[in-house]
Amino acid sequence: MAGNKNRREHRHATMADVAAHIGVSRQLVGLAFRNAPGVSAETAARIFAAAEEIGYQPNLAAQALRREGSKYIGVAYHTSHSSTEELLPAIYKEAESRGYKLVLSAISHDRDDQEAINEIIGHRCDGVILISSSLPISRLKKLATSIPLVSLSRRVSGVNCGVVASKGESGIFDAVKYLISLGHEAIAYVDANEMFDHEFRLQGYKTAMKDAKLKPSIKTISGDYIESAGAEAANLFLSAGELPTAIVCANDQIALGLAYAFQKAGVKIPKDVSVIGYDDTIARLPFLDFTTVHQDAVELASAAVSDLAERIEGKKSKAETYLTSAKLVVRSSTAKPR
């Protein structure tokens, strides 16, 4: 009895409370909140005023349970990737404009992709966006059969999902071409073989070098979005004796680590070595001002959400790839060769 009363006291306001407060039916409050026809303007105003007064907030669990579609999009992402910092807000905005709410599910050392996805499915999201997911293709295929799916920043093939990523090969290609136009010939590339889509960026480098009949020089490092990997690469170059005149890195974080290690060793950027990154996340910070390849978070988010929305609405279900622009942004970490 006491427990029951206690519960009543501490529970949040419901539509019924709002309705009772102004003497209308619960259903009418529902209509008003859904902007459905059949509510007089005057009554609607009273309903919203009452809701505000009692502090009513719709119960999302009840909505998701009852509605045909939950109107949720699940997003599984890594907390440690700097590129998601910009991606998430952009996805929020894009999803909201289409009437979707987001269910965020973090992936980290202690929480793998599958756990993150299970939670999303538990929320009965209408669709899922996986950012840089490391899920094996076989699981992705299976997942795609049970829920609309978009793989963001990881290009997969043979899976019936949307794929959205920036066109790494052309971004890196342009970067190398630019260096060549500056007069560089000894252009090295730092490849991060644990990073998704690294092979496309690498390919852009190889193609550009081949086109110019230059000898490629590739340093492959482990780790993905890790500054220390970049520093490690820098030390490889330093200990090898012969320093290239320009170095292209698979992403900004690697470029930062590399640049930092170089500066520390007295190697000046861009005077001694030109450095280019990829992503335009930290590269854009004024103190770094690195030349990099810009990956537009808004464009990526927009493409991912709109593709997913079409899948949710049943307009498509087959594999489809959308590669967003990857534009070279020239800043102050590049100059003519020494």
Partner DNA sequence: CAGACAGACTAGCACGTGCTAGTATTTTGT
Partner DNA sequence: ACAAAATACTAGCACGTGCTAGTCTGTCTG
List Cβ neighbours of 282 (8 Å cut-off, separation of 6 or more): 82, 252, 253, 256, 288, 290
* Residue 213 backbone zone (phi > 0: left; psi -120 to 50: alpha; other: beta): left
Binding pattern for the stretch 35-54 against DNA, x by CB under 7 A and - elsewhere = ---xxx--x-----------
C-beta of residue 227 within 8 angstroms of C-beta of residue 259: no
Nearer to DNA by C-beta: 9 or 242? 9
Q: Which of 48, 58, 80, 104 binds DNA (CB under 7 A)?
A: 58
Report d(CA 266, CA 164) in Å as an integer: 40
SS3 content of the chain, % helix, strand, coil (to 5): 45, 20, 35
Q: Which amino acid is at 206?
A: K
Residue where the block lists tokens 């520093």:
231
Nearer to DNA by C-beta: 49 or 62? 62
- Asked whether position 55 contacts DNA by CB under 7 A, the answer is no
Q: Which of 68, 138, 158, 315 binds DNA (CB under 7 A)?
A: 68
Judged by CB under 7 A, the stretch of 20-28, 92-100, 201-209, 232-240 that binds DNA is 20-28
Report d(CA 263, CA 272) in Å as an integer: 10
Report d(CA 142, CA 152) in Å as an integer: 17
- The candidate with the shortest Cα–Cα distance to 326, out of 238, 190, 203, 191, is 203
Nearer to a copy of itself by C-beta: 104 or 186? 104
- Asked whether position 31 contacts DNA by CB under 7 A, the answer is yes
- Asked whether position 24 contacts DNA by CB under 7 A, the answer is yes
Q: Least distance to DNA from the beta carbon of 112, Å?
A: 23
- Contacted entry of DNA, a copy of itself, none for residue 111, CB cut-off 5 to 8 Å set by kind: a copy of itself
- Ranges within 306-335 binding DNA (CB under 7 A): none
**Which stretches of the chain bind a copy of itself, using CB under 8 A?**
7, 12, 55, 57-62, 64-65, 68, 70, 79-80, 84-86, 88-89, 92-93, 101, 103-106, 108-111, 118-119, 121-124, 146, 226-228, 230-232, 257, 260-261, 263-264, 269, 282, 285-288
Nearer to a copy of itself by C-beta: 208 or 249? 249
Q: How far does the chain reach from its first CA to its final CA, in angstroms? A: 84
Q: Least distance to a copy of itself from the beta carbon of 119, Å?
A: 7
Residue 106: strand pairing partners: 77
Q: Least distance to a copy of itself from the beta carbon of 200, Å?
A: 26
List Cβ neighbours of 308 (8 Å cut-off, separation of 6 or more): 73, 127, 128, 129, 148, 149, 150, 162
- Contacted entry of DNA, a copy of itself, none for residue 158, CB cut-off 5 to 8 Å set by kind: none
Q: Least distance to DNA from the beta carbon of 16, Å?
A: 6
- Counting Cα atoms < 13 Å in the Cβ hemisphere of 164 gives 25
- Asked whether position 221 contacts DNA by CB under 7 A, the answer is no
Q: Which of 59, 79, 193, 222 binds DNA (CB under 7 A)?
A: 59
- The candidate with the shortest Cα–Cα distance to 204, out of 179, 237, 224, 177, is 177
Give the footprint of DNA on this chain (CB under 7 A): 11-12, 14-16, 19, 24-28, 30-31, 33-34, 38-40, 43, 56, 58-59, 62-63, 65-68
